[in-house]
Amino acid sequence: MKNQDAYKVLPFPKIRQPVVDSLAQAKHMSAIHSLLEVDVTEARKWVREFRKKIGEPLSFTSFLTFCLARAVDENKIVHAY
């Protein structure tokens, strides 16, 4: 393997076992659909300010994707979720 050093092998953390158990249990359950309401007033204000300052378009979806990517990058263990 060329890129062998690019990967890190870690022992399976015991704290992740409940996640594995819940996923196994979820196979046998019906899906539940729900709605979620979140106040995005401040986030939309940031997007508008970015557009004015930079002059480049920025969609709200791309802003949310960027925020999620930054949050995941700060906590590497969630990469596996």
Position 23 scores a pLDDT of 85
Residue 33 placed within a domain: no
Total structural domains within the chain: 1
Is the pTM value of this prediction over 0.75?
no
- Name the 3-class secondary structure at 71: helix
Q: Which residue has the higher pLDDT, 19 or 80?
A: 19
Residue 10 placed within a domain: no
The yes-or-no verdict on residue 1 having pLDDT over 60 is no
How confident is residue 78, by pLDDT bands cut at 50, 70 and 90?
confident
Residue 73 placed within a domain: yes
Q: What percent of the chain has pLDDT over 90?
A: 26
Residue 22 placed within a domain: no
In degrees, rounded to 5, the angle at the alpha carbon of residue 16 between the alpha carbons of residues 9 and 21 is 125
Q: What is the mean pLDDT of the chain?
A: 85
Residue 52 placed within a domain: no
Residue 20 placed within a domain: no
Residue 81's domain comprises 57-81
Residue 38 placed within a domain: no
